[in-house]
Amino acid sequence: MKHTIPLDGAWRLRFGPQTTRDENDAEAALATRMDWPEVDAEVPGNVELDLLRAGVIEDPARGANVHALRKYEKHEWWYTRTFEWKDLEGELPCEPCCVELVFEGLDCLATVWLNNTRVGASDNALIAHRFDVTAMLRPGENTLVVRLASAVLEGFRHEIAPGENSAGPVNFESLHVRKPPHCYGWDIMPRVVSAGIWRGVRLDISLPTRWRGMHVATRSVDVAKRTAFVMVDWDFETDRDVDNLRVALTFASKKNFQPSAISHHTFSCLGTHGRAHVELKDVDFWWPLGSGEPALYDFTAELLEGETRLDEWRENIGVRTIELRRTELTNPQGDGEFVFLVNGERVFVKGTNWVPLDALHSRDAAWLDKVFPMIPELGCNMVRCWGGNVYEDHAFFDLCDRTGVMVWQDFAMACAVYPQTREFHQAVETEAEAVVKKLRNHPSLALWAGNNECDDMYDWSGLGANPNRDDLITRRVLPSVVRRWDPFRSYLPSSPVHDKAFYEQEKSGWETLPEQHLWGPRDDFKGNFYTGSSAHFVSEIGYHGCPSRKFLEKNIPAEELWPVENTPSWLALAVQPHPGHHDYDYRINLMKKQAVFLFGKLPDNLDDFIFASQASQAEAKKFFIEWFRIAKWRRTGILWWNLRDGWPIISDAIVEYDNTRKLAFDYIKRSQSMVCAMCGEPQDGAHPLVVVNDHRAAKRGTLRAWQAGEPATTLWEGAFEIEPNGRGKVADLPQAAQPAVWFFEWTLEDNTTGRNHYLAGPRPFDLAWYRERLKAFSSLAQGNAL
């Protein structure tokens, strides 16, 4: 029942090198900047997009143009617009108590004026900001001004302590600024230290009696009896006598598109806060993709006085429990655990890492509907929202709720030893409270994680620090926030986490972590680094794949296309933060090295190189997924890196920035099917032929395995039955003495079919030979790669 006035659309933008003046008078400040350039601006937007539309800069996504943005990193940006305000008497049920100016995304160091009165300031790009402007509005035309200061200069203002550390020398200025870490340059994103009003702006008109907060949490479930207990925790503001108020809670089924209440309860108010434990019967539970239907209920909370409804809260609710069960350590024998349980049942996780949809985040929303459908298409039941990114909005979580995709959500910190000051702790606490309260009711939200690889950074930095002792952010601030505002959700301090037991070992090492990020030497995908891992769960693992010819021709001048070398354009696509920085140059040679592992030599032309690189990536990621699935439940999940690029770059992604799919997309889609036949590495002269079933019901079918060739040779054929949510070896296949491609096809009792392949025998494989054998089998036979 909110009343809002949107302020998105056309603004004006003035910009220039940042001054040191403390501006309190917006009109006077703008008057001293009349000689600065001014352009039309769009909100939501980023300043770079406004400059591009005005012809001030060339497209930063082309070639090495992104480096030209560095000249604007020390600028300040002045947004202005006017809007009409009128008396709302007669349009609202009662006199409003306040009008708030709401910015869903201000990047990043903002000062706001309304009618030349200073409204307030903000210093966090990752959360919404609200300002009470009730007394500042006037009938007729109103003028809104927003100044955004330089995030880089703000970073320079802070002295970096020797006990702090960053992902690289270009990232130190990010440590004290609450802005997406990737903006300062990362191995998956360019350096674009943007500014802008990147999410929507509006006026919220509030009535005196209104909901202030609502938390709905499933406390327990009985799947067999189809019952559950749900806790509803509510909070409201009012100027009325609370003794005359009631709260009505309704859960309505959305089954068959015919909403019908399965639970309706009314409670008398004893104060402005209340809590109820509601039993639900005949429940359709929310399940992850493939494990069952992700059933949703319409939840409504009404605040009533007599028969008058004063306010209403509505949202979709899923009835389910999700728990992360883990140990601090493991060993090669598997004496450890890292497994997700949904409604009390183990779920094997197949998923990906969700990284920025765009380096310029005002464009994220436009990409979402094009990119997200790839997740369920690939059979992913979880995405990990990586800590170097922004926090996704409700639209993303709504899609996850509806499709049954669980979300592992990192807090927005990555690869750093962050400041341990009261000021920074307070900033993180404020941010975390806003994010947790915003997202906690989404049934897809499975886990809060403190950060990405910050525990690792405590070791990498060589500072002799221990995060359990020294990182108060992840050991005190964040868990306190989660316990207060989302007490029934699992919390992981870091990914991967180095618990106390890690440091108490006689000889500590990452090999003892139950959850790992497997990057290491980035060598042979069947090498011991990968196959020798003791991990139960891998939340990052990847392999490079060259982009398509179309992509390369668009971003690299013709004279630099071939051979693949460390030229300025290739280096820009390898995410070189600026021309003098060379930490990421290895990424070009990585493509070459990884292709050679599979095919023995580098091709002598660009098209064959693209195919060889994409094939090596596809086979590697397929192998990683199947290596984990074959060992279900010794291994419990894999989140590969990553789905799609947020910029035109060379990377581990399986989808390019323009949504062109690489060969790996098709391979992963087959490897992640709910029932999948796959082959293990040889043991004692034989390959285990395994069928994995991720359904919660037993599956029966017939399977044929054969070797490609003229003629094709049948290796095994027969029937199989696999227990619910299990795996089973159906045959041993003789170890191949020569390079060979084995194909598997199966049909289930319900006539569902599937297929897969396996590379048997010693490597290298002949590139042309491999290509011909996969052509007839792959659904990408007519596509870009094959």
Task: Evaluate whether residue 32 is within a structural domain.
Answer: yes
First-to-last alpha carbon distance for the chain, in angstroms, is: 54
- Whole-Å CA distances, 784 to 549, 607, 655, 663, 664: 9, 10, 12, 8, 12
- Whole-Å CA distances, 330 to 502, 508, 520, 645: 10, 12, 19, 33
Q: For the domain that residue 168 is a member of, what is the CATH number?
A: 2.60.120.260
Same domain, 265 and 218: yes
Instruction: Encode pLDDT of 506-519 as tens digits.
Output: 776 889 999 999 99
Q: Which of 206, 234, 249 is the last residue of a domain?
A: 206
Task: Evaluate whether residue 492 is within a structural domain.
Answer: no
Confidence of residue 63 (pLDDT cuts 50, 70, 90): confident
Same domain, 602 and 724: no
Task: Evaluate whether residue 462 is within a structural domain.
Answer: no
Q: For the domain that residue 656 is a member of, what is the CATH number?
A: 3.20.20.80
Instruction: Encode pLDDT of 67-122 as tens digits.
Output: 999 999 999 999 999 999 987 766 776 777 899 999 999 999 999 999 999 999 99
The conformational region for residue 4 under phi > 0 = left, psi -120 to 50 = alpha, else beta, is: beta
CB 541 within 8 A of CB 624: yes
Q: Which pLDDT does position 168 carry in this prediction?
A: 83
Same domain, 120 and 11: yes
Where do runs of H (alpha helix) occur along 112-196? Answer: 151-157
The conformational region for residue 512 under phi > 0 = left, psi -120 to 50 = alpha, else beta, is: alpha
Task: Evaluate whether residue 595 is within a structural domain.
Answer: yes
Number of domains forming the structure of the chain = 4
| pLDDT exceeds cutoff 70 at 319 | yes
Same domain, 188 and 61: yes
Same domain, 195 and 215: no
Same domain, 528 and 620: yes
CB 119 within 8 A of CB 134: no
CB 486 within 8 A of CB 411: no
Same domain, 289 and 353: no
Same domain, 133 and 265: no
Q: For the domain that residue 771 is a member of, what is the CATH number?
A: 2.60.40.10
Instruction: Encode pLDDT of 681-721 as tens digits.
Output: 999 999 999 999 999 999 999 999 999 887 889 999 999 99
Q: Which of 640, 672, 704 is the last residue of a domain?
A: 672
**And the tokens for 129?**
């900001």
Alpha carbon distance 444, 404 (integer Å): 7
Give the residue with greater pLDDT, 426 vs 708: 426
Judged by DSSP in three states, 709 sits in coil
Task: Evaluate whether residue 507 is within a structural domain.
Answer: no
Burial class (CB in 10 A: 0-12, 13-18, 19+), 342: buried
Instruction: Encode pLDDT of 371-419 as tens digits.
Output: 999 999 999 999 999 999 999 999 999 999 999 999 999 999 999 999 9
Instruction: Encode pLDDT of 136-181 as tens digits.
Output: 999 999 999 999 999 999 999 999 999 999 988 889 999 999 999 9
| pLDDT exceeds cutoff 90 at 636 | yes
Alpha carbon distance 641, 653 (integer Å): 7
Same domain, 15 and 79: yes
Instruction: Encode pLDDT of 537-592 as tens digits.
Output: 999 999 999 999 999 999 898 999 999 988 888 998 999 888 888 888 888 999 99
**Boundaries of domain holding 295:** 210-317
Q: Which of 206, 227, 253 is the last residue of a domain?
A: 206
Same domain, 558 and 698: no
Q: Which pLDDT does position 782 carry in this prediction?
A: 36
Task: Evaluate whether residue 497 is within a structural domain.
Answer: no
CB 288 within 8 A of CB 340: no
CB 274 within 8 A of CB 221: no
The mean pLDDT of 272-281, rounded to a whole number, is 96
Beta strands in 319-395 (DSSP E): 322-326, 338-342, 345-347, 349-354, 382-385
Q: Which of 292-301, 558-567, 774-783 has the highest average model confidence (pLDDT)? A: 292-301
Same domain, 647 and 737: no
| pLDDT exceeds cutoff 50 at 426 | yes
For 119, phi and psi rounded to 5 degrees? -85, -45
How many alpha carbons fall within 13 Å on the CB side of residue 29? Answer: 26
Instruction: Encode pLDDT of 720-767 as tens digits.
Output: 999 999 999 999 999 999 999 999 999 999 999 999 999 999 999 999
Measured over all CA atoms, what is the biggest interatomic distance in the chain, rounded to whole angstroms?
86
Instruction: Encode pLDDT of 227-260 as tens digits.
Output: 999 999 999 999 999 999 999 999 998 776 555 6
Judged by DSSP in three states, 314 sits in strand
Alpha carbon distance 374, 395 (integer Å): 16
Same domain, 659 and 691: no
Task: Evaluate whether residue 480 is within a structural domain.
Answer: no
Task: Evaluate whether residue 367 is within a structural domain.
Answer: no
